[in-house]
Structure 1
Amino acid sequence: MTAKRRARRIASDEATAWARNLELGNPYAKSVLRALGEYVDGDGLCWVGIPSLAGDCDLSQDTVRRRLAWLEEIGAIGRTPQWLDENGRRNGDGRGKRTTDLIRLLVDADIDAIEARAAGRNVDENQVNSRSISPSWQQGLNSGADDVSPRPALGQPSQCSQGLDSFEPEPEDPPKSPSGGFPVDRETIEESEPVEFAAAFEGYVGHEVMRRDLALEEFRLLTQEDRVWCGHAVPLYMAKLRELKQRRPMNFHLWVRTRGFREFPAPGAAPAKAAPPQRRFVQGAELKGLAVAMQIAERRELRIIRDQDLGEGVWTQLGPQADLSAMAAFAGADREAWQVVDLGTPQFAAWRDRLALWTGAEPQAERIFLEPFDPNVHGISSSNPNFRLRKSKQGFRVPAPWPPRRDGTWQVAGESE
């Protein structure tokens, strides 16, 4: 009986040379593939995240995602979805939270077939070496010689593929936000958008990580005159940020909602000298409500100043906010007794947007533990067999399911939002 052949080991320099010699006609994809070669282990596997690849290639994370899907479709790589369970163990069974995919470089696949698919040519599978490795994530780099199970076709994408065209043109369109709830077809997106929206949104610094759907919803509420005004003001606002050496503007949908573009001259208007901002001193119930909002959004106390003439309070450029005054009813309350709205729910989104309006910054979800800390299982080394992760979830701890209405009233039980 013939002994089973030992699996071949793949070195990083071999994987990098293989990637360098492929003729793909897609510079971004080749850059990503060569970067993967730096992370490969002896089995041809890569454990690397999208942010690391984006930094290595000087590309956006969205671009890296699309190029990985394209490389998988042409048969250069295979991807396996991975999850982390509640004990921090990686698995491919869908247990827990999604994490970085396992990526396999298919260095033993037929190079001519990969290059043909990259060029958009049809591949005659009968002329391809029958032992070539399939891009499907199930097919290992070191499959045994006696493996006769049916294999997917070389061009067949795995369940990780996003179905992109194998001959994607370069250079690409500016990357869009991964979220936003829009169809993949760009023509369908543009048909549903005002003509002024795309230029305004894509000219806004940081739009790649902002919610396009929220931005579009607010933009549609503008009059035609304000839409033109908004698009005209975006480059002026970006130039002002550079002048002030500020790198993080407020989210685009909040800037549109608060009509921030009106701080700049309208198209065709003569530039006017900027008037000093109108400030007011927040005190009383509105100040107490702002302190409650700061505890929810940033889990810290509000920094209150003391004016020699006016007393204690904070300065703001926003007008009086009745909904913020309504939050004063919960000043001094026990936050641990409040309910939790989970990340991803409509209630969470409503509180997030309202807190951003009150505090002027996008709030981050809080990590809320679902069980008390037990030093015997949570405070020991992770290598100890008794170690267990403390159960938790992401969300806001809030005094009511929904924030107050803008007029300061609250939703009553049984009333739809």
Structure 2
Amino acid sequence: MTTAKRRARRIAADEAHSWARNLRLRNIQAKILLSMLTLYVDAEGTCFVSIPSLAEDCELSPQTVRRRLSWLQEIGAISRQDQWIDDQGNRNGNGRGKRTTDKIRLLYDVDPYLIEARAAGRAVAEDLDETIADEGEISPACQTGLNSEVSPAPGLRQPYHSGKGLISEPEPEDPPKSPSGGFPDDHKTIEEGEPVEFAAAFESYVGHEVMRRDLALEEFRLLTQDERAWCAHAVPLYMAKLRELKQRRPMNFHLWVRTRGFREFPAPGAALAKAAPPQRRFVQDDELKGLAVAMQIAERRELRTIREQDLGEGVWTQLGPQADLAAMAAFAGADRVAWRVADLGTPQFAAWRDRLALWIGAEPQAERIFLEPFDPSVHGVSASSPNFRLRKSKQGFRVPAPWPPRRDGTWQGAGESE
């Protein structure tokens, strides 16, 4: 009998796993990782799990897990949001406190065909048409959520079967039309001729020469007038995006129209929101002194300042006022040799590293700190000499306090826990 602690069953884990299991991603590592994420989801389809835990679950390296998470995010299977923990232990997404694990949400409400098309990078019309024919008549209705409180529905990615065989002698009828996509019945009326926007949209679509024009026209006719203009406007944008991503073949045009892929691009006439340029300010006084101390700790060099004719000596920055950096001014001119050492790999080292990266705008590197004075008779001789001995050292930061100052500029007192 094993004594290993079993994982507690999580709400919606079975439903989420069924969704992930039925996705065809053509990427075995991403498929395994997505399946493992379903073991951590809550009732809303979100989870908070660390990279090392996922790497252990999937038996992959942390670097591979990071790459596969980015890939899953690019194809629209998951979304990630950066998270921090503030001084009170509250998780937030506003950058307050220390960096922690991301908030990952499984996008199970997105059309699975759209996710699979992005994953494949291309879609051959014949293969997809055969797949749809084999599965039966597919309902255009979106699949329900993981915890839907509606009447039972077929499992995720399962077909909605029509009532075939109920009429012994079926009357002759026209070939079945494509699903309407949820529009009112009056939109199902097929108009004569081609819409004016269709030819330009279809012929500018890469690979249209081998695609079925009749299927594309049938789907295009089901769009509203505004959506037709939107679709024609979005085709060049979609083609440019594919070239940027170095994808040679898009999904079939009629499937792209059916899944409303053009909605991923701005509608014609929509003004693109431009981010306001960040405001610069000139850093001086205590904050400048604190920045000079931070530069000594992070890179062991003097801070390079400039002199403005009207403002004096300082540096320009796009960050707001930083009270914690001003608190470091108290150690300007102090002897760094007398400071304590934050050893590499400790929580104190990580806290100082993250704060220094924020202050100087670059990842600081640990310093090699010697633990004994240099002795020429043993440290300065050749390595082949019997008297040679390595000089004891370790990696870390020379810092003035065990922990960096808090963001409000206060310091941790004696006996306080970080």
Larger Rg: 2
